[in-house]
Structure 1
Amino acid sequence: METIKLKTNINCGGCISKVTPFLDKLEGIDTWEVDTNDPDKILTIKSNGASEEDVKTTLQKIGFKGEHVNSY
Structure 2
Amino acid sequence: MKTLKFKTTLKCGGCEEKVTPGINNIEAIKEWDIDFGSDDKILTINASIDVSKEVINAVEKVGFEIEQID
Same topology, TM > 0.5: yes
Q: What is the RMSD of the two structures over their aligned residues, measured on CA atoms?
A: 1.1
Answer 1 or 2: higher relative contact order, Cα 8 Å, separation at least 6. Answer: 2
User: Unpaired segments of 5 or more residues in structure 1?
Assistant: none
Runs of 4+ in 1 over 4 A off after TM superposition: none
C-alpha separation between the residues in 2 aligned to 1:47 and 1:38?
22
TM-score (norm 1): 0.88
Aligned to 2:3: 3
TM-score (norm 2): 0.90
Question: C-alpha deviations, 1:23-65, integer Å up to 9, x for none?
Answer: 1111211000000010000000001125211110111111112
User: Unpaired segments of 5 or more residues in structure 2?
Assistant: none
